[in-house]
Structure 1
Amino acid sequence: MSENNSRRRFLKQSLLAAGALPLVSAPFAATAQPSQLPKFHIFSKHLQFLNYADAASVAAELGFDGVDWSVRPNGHVLPERVETDLPKAVEALKRAGLSPLLMTTAVGDSTDATDQRLLKTTAALGFRYYRMNWYRYLPNQSMPEALRMYEEKMIGLGKLNKELNLIGCYQNHAGELVGASVWELWQMLKNADLQHTGVQYDIRHATVEGGLSWKNGLRLLRPHIKTIVLKDFRWAKLNGRWAVENTPIGEGMVDFTSYFKLLKQYDLNVPVSVHLEYPLGGAENGATSLSIDKKVVFEAMKRDLRKLKALWEAA
């Protein structure tokens, strides 16, 4: 009991020192209609410098609705330890007054024994949504051939998801991975189980790839969107070359006002995973030890969450 009390005192002092929100008793006290807000989950990649209990406590203290646990190689929970460690993460959530809902995985094949074991454990613990691994184009295949192959994999995962009452989500990701273009996702998902397989829509990546056409992409994928990711970016010239530079929410190029208006228009109020990919002493990359004071990370999380709520309510 003394160890638990010390942990609580440490977290409370750290969060209050960072100007954090009030304690868990009233995380949404300042909002007019909190039921209309999406459920905001912090991506546990950015809390891997904390153990499960402390990560869950911090999430609750800062006002998040849950934790999107990273359950993948080099993640907060390692796939080979999912049966022993994921229950500990879930118990930590419950002690903090939160419930399991989201997780991020490297699952990609319904016939893979590790993927099957991970999903069965996940379902038994009460999770509902998981993000899949990304697929890659193979050098010895044409792109249409690869998309047909991955379409079959999505069909297979849809069947397994249905058995387990899970929803698997493929994230659109800027670059050369499969699914950077929304039309690739539409192709892969067109014959999959719509109720149990879909997209984790990432507006940051969609804006990088879509430029001015991201609204068309959102409209195309609308029936498939099951969860969303929120983060921001801007184009910057680094070492003489243009590159994507990640920023805090509201400081970049993502048009959150238009985006949130469309989500409301489409009645898309789905679970949210909040990412902080800008420099935060290693927390942005899933570091287990930081080069800055952890209170700086907590303050960044609080600031981004507060900004997202304000943007949502104003849209």
Structure 2
Amino acid sequence: MLYTLFPKFLQSYDVNRLATVAGESGFDAVDLVVREGYWVTPERFAEEAPAFVRAMQRSNLKVEFATTGFSPEMLAQDDTPLKVMSDAGIRSFRMSYFAYDEQEHLFAQMDKARALMHQMAELCSKYKLKAVYQIHHGDRMLIHHSYAALSLVEGLPSEYVGIMPDPGNQFHEGNDNWRRAVMTLGSYLAGMGIKDAKYVYNPEGRTAPGKGWGKQWTPCQDGVTNWHAIAKALHEAKFQGVLNFQPFYHSSSLDLLIPALQEEVAYIRNLMSEAGRLAGHEAV
């Protein structure tokens, strides 16, 4: 398993400081984030992506997973980003999301999304890359659950398309049976979003429709998700993909975020190690 950091809230750091923090926090790798205002921007992708990879490698960190907004339609027009990622050593990338339109029949939207995933698989096959669809929460998102995500890709080549469940995101919509999700996705399980949340109660809102209850991002060691069950299932499935840490807590204070992140990585590594020992093989 590759422990990789999605450094969304670390954009104030230069690449050297980012590499130092990632290494000290226990990561094997850092995401190649392709966004405005980050180290690699869409406009200068061909130049900045290889430079970012080299900078991380100088600190003995891998860059094998990219967080992008690339859609099948975009890449069909120009597949240069796929070539750039492949040449830079990227193996998989988080693609764009499918939006939900309440004015259109759900199954019709799913059929369109599946056709686009088929197109994405064909595009990625040329460069031996895997496009990964992350399960996300929110009214505007088409896919909220592992089984819905599976219907996007079932029958397509899992070498080129895959799914990333996300316990933190999915908690905002309900939950999932994590062992069943891991086993059902099978070879399409390309990554696991390492992110968690918890319930919070505000008594002042007890007469509101939500009865005062809300949800808040928090480190995995403090959240609602049973990471023991996930670790056990991943080892049972002999999963060797991406563990993508997404620290959304303490987003306005790096002085709080970094120590919590270090504790979170240690917590997950310990769980994975113990699950591997119980499964009779070494955690990696």
- Deviation of 1:210 (Å): 4.7
| Equivalence for 1:6 | none
Q: Is 1:190 equivalent to 2:154 in the alignment?
A: yes
The one-letter code sitting in structure 2 at the alignment partner of 1:226 is A
| Equivalence for 1:18 | none
Inter-partner Cα distance in structure 1 for 2:66 and 2:39: 10
Q: Is 1:133 equivalent to 2:96 in the alignment?
A: yes
| Equivalence for 2:28 | 65
Distance 1:51 1:112, change over 3 A: same
Inter-partner Cα distance in structure 2 for 1:114 and 1:236: 45
Partner secondary structure for residue 211 of structure 1: coil
Inter-partner Cα distance in structure 1 for 2:4 and 2:176: 28
Q: Is 1:179 equivalent to 2:143 in the alignment?
A: yes
Equivalences for residues 152-231 of structure 1 within 5 A: 152-176=115-139, 177-211=141-175, 213-231=177-195
| Equivalence for 1:254 | 225
- Deviation of 1:132 (Å): 0.9
Question: Deviations 1:62-99 (Å, cap 9, x if unpaired)?
Answer: 32101012113454421121012112211111111122
The one-letter code sitting in structure 2 at the alignment partner of 1:245 is Q
The one-letter code sitting in structure 2 at the alignment partner of 1:197 is V
Partner secondary structure for residue 165 of structure 1: coil
* Conserved? CA contact 1:158–1:196, under 8 Å: yes
Unaligned runs of 5+ in 2: 276-284
Inter-partner Cα distance in structure 2 for 1:257 and 1:115: 42
| Equivalence for 2:9 | 46
Unaligned runs of 5+ in 1: 1-37, 282-291
Percent identical among aligned pairs is 23
* Conserved? CA contact 2:130–2:162, under 8 Å: yes
Partner secondary structure for residue 216 of structure 1: helix
More divergent stretch after superposition (122-131 vs 303-312): 303-312
The one-letter code sitting in structure 1 at the alignment partner of 2:115 is E
Inter-partner Cα distance in structure 2 for 1:163 and 1:280: 38
More divergent stretch after superposition (112-121 vs 46-55): 112-121
Distance 1:269 1:206, change over 3 A: farther
Partner secondary structure for residue 180 of structure 1: coil
Q: Is 1:268 equivalent to 2:239 in the alignment?
A: yes
Inter-partner Cα distance in structure 2 for 1:135 and 1:212: 20
| Equivalence for 1:298 | 258
1:119 pairs with one of 73, 77, 82: 82
Q: Normalised by the size of structure 2, how large is the TM-score? A: 0.86
Question: Deviations 1:174-213 (Å, cap 9, x if unpaired)?
Answer: 2331210223212211242221101122122344445363
Inter-partner Cα distance in structure 1 for 2:38 and 2:122: 26
Inter-partner Cα distance in structure 2 for 1:64 and 1:115: 33
Inter-partner Cα distance in structure 1 for 2:245 and 2:78: 25
Say how many residue pairs are matched. Answer: 267
| Equivalence for 1:5 | none
Inter-partner Cα distance in structure 2 for 1:121 and 1:63: 28
The one-letter code sitting in structure 1 at the alignment partner of 2:144 is A
Q: Is 1:90 equivalent to 2:50 in the alignment?
A: no
- Deviation of 1:53 (Å): 2.6
* Conserved? CA contact 1:109–1:115, under 8 Å: no
Inter-partner Cα distance in structure 1 for 2:188 and 2:20: 32
- Deviation of 1:128 (Å): 0.4
Partner secondary structure for residue 79 of structure 1: coil
Q: Is 1:232 equivalent to 2:196 in the alignment?
A: yes
- Deviation of 1:139 (Å): 4.3
- Deviation of 1:113 (Å): 6.1
Inter-partner Cα distance in structure 2 for 1:269 and 1:297: 27
* Conserved? CA contact 1:101–1:127, under 8 Å: yes
| Equivalence for 1:26 | none
| Equivalence for 2:71 | 108
Q: Which runs of 4+ in 1 moved over 6 A?
A: none
- Deviation of 1:58 (Å): 2.2
Inter-partner Cα distance in structure 2 for 1:115 and 1:279: 38
1:312 pairs with one of 245, 267, 272: 272
Partner secondary structure for residue 123 of structure 1: helix
Q: Normalised by the size of structure 1, how large is the TM-score? A: 0.78
RMSD over aligned CA atoms reads 2.1
* Conserved? CA contact 1:53–1:89, under 8 Å: no
Partner secondary structure for residue 119 of structure 2: helix
